[in-house]
C-alpha cells in the first residue's frame, strides 16, 4: 500500500483565510486527513489565544481526523546578527524565519516547552515538531530528545524521536513568491513525481503563499487528486509513522 501525506505549513490565524478555500476543496473529496503545522504566535502578533474562532476551527479539524503538529513558536529568527558567511546566508538569504537554527539547547527547550504548553492548554494532542524552514541547531536536536514528542522532519525524511531514526518520506514543496519560481517549481515537482512513482509515500508540503496564486493552488489540488486516483491512501504524518511501525512488527 502506498500513501500520500498532505501537510499545511505555517498554520495560524493569519494564514487560515489563505488556506480555507483549498481546505474546503479537499474536504469535498471525502476523507482526506491533513497534518496542520501550527505556529502558536506567528511573527509575535498572531497568538492563538487571541483568536477563539481559530482555536474552534482547530478543534473541528481534529474531530475530522486531522493532526496538529508544533511548527516553531514565533516562526521568526530573532537571534543576534549572524557573524559568519554561512550563518548570514542561512539566516538572511535562504530565510529570515529559521527560528531554531541558532538556538542553544536551553533556549530551544524553553521555546519548545512553551509551544507544547499552548497545545496542552487547548487540549490539542501533539506528536510532532517541525522547525520553521526545517532548520535546527544541535541544541534543538538535543532538547527534542528529552521532550514527549514522537517525530520531527526535514524535506525528505521523518525522524523518530528520541533517537532520530531516519525514515524516508520524500516531499514536494514549491517556492511560489514569483511567477518564474512557480514555473520552475512545477517543472521540478513533475520530474520528482516521475522519479517517485514507486515510493511508499509522497508528502505534499504546502505554504500559505501557494494559496495566493491560482497556478500553484490548482497544482496542489490536481496533484492530490491524481495521487488519490492512483490508489495512494491519505494519512497524517503521525498515522503514517504508526502504520510503518506496525508493518515492521508484522514482518
Does pLDDT of 240 surpass 90?
Answer: yes
Does pLDDT of 251 surpass 80?
Answer: no
The string of pLDDT tens digits covering residues 66-107 is: 999 999 999 766 755 555 555 534 444 344 566 898 899 999
202 versus 247: the higher-pLDDT residue is: 202
Q: What is the pLDDT at residue 92?
A: 47
Q: Can you tell me the distance from the alpha carbon of 116 to that of 193, in angstroms, rounded to the nearest whole number? A: 35
Q: Residue written as cell 511548527?
A: 71
Q: Residue written as cell 535562504?
A: 94
Question: What's the grid cell of residue 136?
Answer: 535546527
What is the percentage of the chain residues whose pLDDT exceeds 90?
A: 80
What integer is the mean pLDDT of 145-169?
96
Is the distance from CB of 69 to CB of 35 less than 8 angstroms?
Answer: yes
CATH number for the domain spanning 74: value is 3.20.20.370
Segment (H or E) for 173: strand 171-173
User: Under the phi-then-psi rule, with left for phi > 0, alpha for psi from -120 to 50, and beta for the rest, what region is 157?
Assistant: beta
The string of pLDDT tens digits covering residues 20-78 is: 999 999 999 999 999 999 999 998 888 999 999 999 999 999 999 999 999 999 976 67
Does pLDDT of 183 surpass 60?
Answer: yes
* Number of separate domains in the chain: 1
Q: What is the pLDDT at residue 85?
A: 54
Q: What is the pLDDT at residue 142?
A: 98
Domain that holds residue 220: 3-250
Q: What is the pLDDT at residue 83?
A: 59
Give the total residue count for the chain: 251
What is the overall mean pLDDT for the chain? 91
Q: What is the pLDDT at residue 188?
A: 96
Q: What is the pLDDT at residue 93?
A: 38
Question: What's the grid cell of residue 238?
Answer: 503521525
Q: Can you tell me the distance from the alpha carbon of 159 to that of 151, in angstroms, rounded to the nearest whole number? A: 5
247 versus 95: the higher-pLDDT residue is: 247
Q: What is the pLDDT at residue 242?
A: 95
The string of pLDDT tens digits covering residues 189-200 is: 999 999 999 999
Q: What is the pLDDT at residue 160?
A: 97
Q: What is the pLDDT at residue 148?
A: 96
Residue 245 phi/psi, 5-degree rounding, is -65, -40
Amino acid at each position: 500500500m502506498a500513501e500520500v501525506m498532505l501537510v499545511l505549513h505555517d498554520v495560524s490565524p493569519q494564514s487560515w483565510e489563505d488556506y480555507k478555500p483549498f481546505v474546503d476543496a479537499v474536504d469535498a473529496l471525502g476523507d482526506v486527513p491533513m497534518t496542520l503545522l501550527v505556529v502558536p504566535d506567528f511573527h509575535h502578533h498572531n497568538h492563538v489565544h487571541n483568536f477563539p474562532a481559530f482555536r474552534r476551527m482547530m478543534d473541528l479539524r481534529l474531530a475530522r481526523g486531522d493532526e496538529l503538529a508544533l511548527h516553531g513558536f514565533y516562526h521568526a529568527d530573532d537571534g543576534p546578527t549572524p557573524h559568519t558567511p554561512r550563518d548570514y546566508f542561512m539566516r538572511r538569504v535562504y530565510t529570515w524565519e529559521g527560528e531554531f537554527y541558532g538556538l542553544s539547547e536551553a533556549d530551544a527547550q524553553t521555546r519548545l516547552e512553551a509551544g507544547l504548553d499552548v497545545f496542552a492548554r487547548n487540549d490539542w494532542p501533539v506528536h510532532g515538531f517541525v522547525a520553521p524552514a526545517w532548520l535546527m541547531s544541535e541544541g534543538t536536536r538535543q532538547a527534542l530528545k528529552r521532550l514527549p514528542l514522537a517525530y520531527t522532519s526535514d524535506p525528505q525524511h521523518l525522524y523518530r524521536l528520541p533517537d532520530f531514526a531516519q525514515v524516508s518520506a520524500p516531499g514536494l514543496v514549491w517556492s511560489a513568491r514569483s511567477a518564474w519560481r512557480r514555473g520552475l517549481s512545477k517543472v521540478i515537482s513533475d520530474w520528482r513525481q516521475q522519479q517517485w512513482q514507486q515510493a511508499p509515500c509522497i508528502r505534499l508540503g504546502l505554504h500559505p503563499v501557494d494559496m495566493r496564486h491560482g497556478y500553484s493552488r490548482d497544482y496542489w489540488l490536481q496533484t492530490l487528486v491524481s495521487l488519490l486516483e492512483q490508489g495512494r491512501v491519505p494519512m497524517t504524518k503521525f498515522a503514517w509513522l504508526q502504520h510503518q511501525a506496525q508493518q515492521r512488527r508484522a514482518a
